[in-house]
Structure 1
Amino acid sequence: IYFTGDNIESARMTGIPVNRVKMLVFAQLGFFAAFAGILVSLEALYQWPTTGQGFLLPTIAAVFLGGTSAFGGMGTIFGTFIGAIIIGSLKTGIITIGLSGYWTNLIYGLLIVISVSIHSILRRKT
């Protein structure tokens, strides 16, 4: 999976079935997303299409803050875990000082833009 995400052409040259790997990974992600949706629905005791909408921006911010590149390549579970801890701490801090939810979304958006910009700059240097 890492090799396919890092360099598709090299993966094809070494004989890895890139399309099959992509299909299997997307199928697994779909299964886990559905499972997470079921768990959230069971906790809330109701189902609505927009139930998990509030989880999207913090999750993306945690992944990018943890070091995963938006341009493909490798990310680590440890980095994403650290990103999630930082996002959780930020959310707690924002709530503690009494700012509204709009500020939380603004800060998450800024973190995403800054993280992707840093990855873009580092990618150009290599």
Structure 2
Amino acid sequence: METNNYNIVDDDDFVTILDHRFWVWGVDRFSSKNTGLFRDVLICTCQPSKKPLVIVCKESCRKGQYFNERAQVFVTIEDNPCITVPEGSTLPDENWSQIVKWIRLNKEGLLQY
């Protein structure tokens, strides 16, 4: 009988972001105050069967809203970052340019994180 590691953990061990499940311990949030970016981000580098990602949050924040509830797009951590989820999504040019530059500048550190 095949066992699935997901069956031996509680749902509290996961967070759903844009309809994708992530281990809670592998999703770290960083506010724009810490990164210098226009948007808050989530860094996801330790996820089974997922490439390392930067999740960019929406600009607006309602009081009491969590970072994962503000997720807008998944961006790959690589030399030529691209938006993978939601398919066909874009960010305003100014934000996109800043995110790409930040990922390229910090790529090695992000991947080791």
Which TM-score bucket, shorter chain as reference? under 0.3
| TM-score (structure 2 length as normaliser) | 0.25
The structure whose Rg is larger is 1
| TM-score (structure 1 length as normaliser) | 0.24
As a proportion of its length, which structure holds more strand? 2
More relative contact order, 1 or 2 (CA 8 Å, 6+ apart): 1
As a proportion of its length, which structure holds more helix? 1
